[in-house]
Chains A and B, each alone.
Chain A
Amino acid sequence: MAKGESVAGTDIPPGGFVQLLTPDGERIDSVTAADGTTYSVDFTDEEYRELYRDLVTVRRLDTEAVALQRQGELGIWASLLGQEAAQVGSGRALRPQDMAFPTYREHGVLYCRGIDPIMPFGLFRGVDQGGWDANEFKFNQYTIVIGSQTLHATGYAMGVTMDGKTGSADGEAVIAYFGDGATSQGEVNEAFVWSGVFNSPIVFFCQNNQYAISEPLERQTRVPLYQRAGGYGFPGIRVDGNDVLATFAVTRAALDNARNGQGPTLIEAYTYRMGAHTSSDDPTRYRISSEVESWKAKDPISRLRAFLSKQKIAKKDFFAEVDETANKKALDLRERVLAMPDPEPVTLFDHVYPNGSPELDAQRDAFTRYQASFEGSGH
Chain B
Amino acid sequence: MITLGKALNHGLRRAMEDDPKVVIMGEDVGKLGGVFRITDALQKDFGENRVIDTPLAEAGIVGTAVGLAIRGFRPVCEIQFDGFVFPAYNQIVAQVAKMHYRSKGKLRLPITIRIPFGGGIGAVEHHSESPEAYFAHTAGLKVVTCSNPADAYTMIQQAIASDDPVIFFEPKRRYWEKGEVDLDAPLSGAFPLHSARVARPGSDATLLAYGPMVRVALDAASAAAEDGRELEVIDLRSLSPIDYPVLFESVRRTGRAVVVHEAPGNVGLGAEIAARITEECFYSLEAPVLRVTGYDIPYPAARVEEEYLPDLDRVLDAVDRSFGW
- A residues neighboring B (CB under 8 Å): 101, 128-136, 140-141, 143, 145, 148, 150-160, 162-163, 186-187, 190-191, 193-194, 197, 350-355, 357-360
Contact = CB atoms under 8 A, between A and B. Distances in A.
Interface stretch (B89-97, B210-218, B307-315): B89-97
Interface centre among B54, B60, B69, B164 (most CB of A within 10 A): B60
Contacts of A359: 241-242, 244
A193 B73 contact: no
Given A132-B103, A133-B106, A355-B163, A151 B59 contact: yes
A350 B104 CA distance: 8
Given A148-B63, A187-B63, A359-B241, A163 B87 contact: no
Contacts of B142: 353, 357
B60 A151 contact: yes
Given A193-B57, A350-B105, A351-B100, A151 B91 contact: yes
Contact of A351 (B59, B90, B104, B243): B104
B225 to A, nearest CB: 32
A135 B140 CA distance: 20
Contacts of B64: 151-152, 154-155, 158, 194
Interface string B85-116: 00100110011001111111111100000000
Contacts of B241: 357-360
Interface string B219-262: 00000000000000000000001111000000000000000000
Give 8 closest A-B pairs by Cβ, nearest first: A155-B67, A151-B63, A155-B64, A159-B71, A156-B67, A131-B104, A190-B60, A354-B163
Contact of B95 (A145, A158, A194, A354): A145
A358 to B, nearest CB: 6
A359 B106 CA distance: 22
Contact of B139 (A128, A131, A352, A355): A352
Contacts of B91: 148, 151, 187
Contacts of B163: 354-355
A143 to B, nearest CB: 8
Contact of B59 (A153, A190, A350, A353): A190
A20 B94 CA distance: 40
Contacts of A130: 102-103
Given A153-B67, A156-B67, A354-B163, A194 B72 contact: no
A134 B68 contact: no
B66 interface: yes
Query: Which of the four size classes fits the interface of chain B?
Result: 35 or more
A148 B102 CA distance: 15
Contacts, number: 143
Interface string B295-312: 000000000000000000
Contacts of B101: 129, 351-352
Contact of A159 (B60, B67, B100, B107): B67
A151 B104 contact: no
A151 B67 contact: yes
A328 B276 CA distance: 57
A155 B140 contact: no
A162 B49 contact: yes
Contacts of A358: 194, 241, 243
Given A190-B60, A360-B139, 14 more contacts: A131-B106, A140-B70, A141-B103, A148-B91, A152-B67, A156-B71, A186-B87, A191-B63, A194-B60, A351-B104, A353-B140, A354-B163, A355-B162, A358-B194
Given A148-B94, A186-B87, A190-B63, A133 B194 contact: no
B66, B104, B142, B194 pick with most chain A CB within 10 angstroms: B104
Contacts of B59: 151, 186-187, 190
Contacts of B99: 141
Contacts of B122: none
B24 interface: no
A301 B56 CA distance: 44
Given A163-B71, A190-B60, A197-B55, A354 B105 contact: yes
A158 B90 contact: no
Nearest to B65: A155
Contacts of A154: 60, 63-64, 67
A134 B106 contact: yes
A191 B73 CA distance: 19
A159 B73 contact: yes
10 contacts: A101-B67, A133-B106, A145-B90, A152-B64, A154-B63, A155-B75, A159-B67, A187-B59, A353-B140, A353-B142
Contacts of B94: 145, 148
Contacts of A158: 64, 67-68
Given A131-B103, A352-B140, A194 B57 contact: yes
A359 B141 CA distance: 13
Contacts of A150: 63
Contacts of B72: 159
Given A148-B63, A152-B70, A162-B73, A187 B90 contact: yes
A101 B65 CA distance: 15
A152 to B, nearest CB: 4
A366 B196 CA distance: 23
A160 B71 contact: yes
Contacts of A145: 90, 94-95
A347 to B, nearest CB: 9
B164 A353 contact: yes
A160 B12 CA distance: 23
Contact of B57 (A141, A148, A163, A190): A190
B63 A155 contact: yes
Given A129-B101, A352-B139, A191 B70 contact: no
Nearest to A143: B95
A267 to B, nearest CB: 19
Contacts of B162: 355
Contacts of B140: 352-353
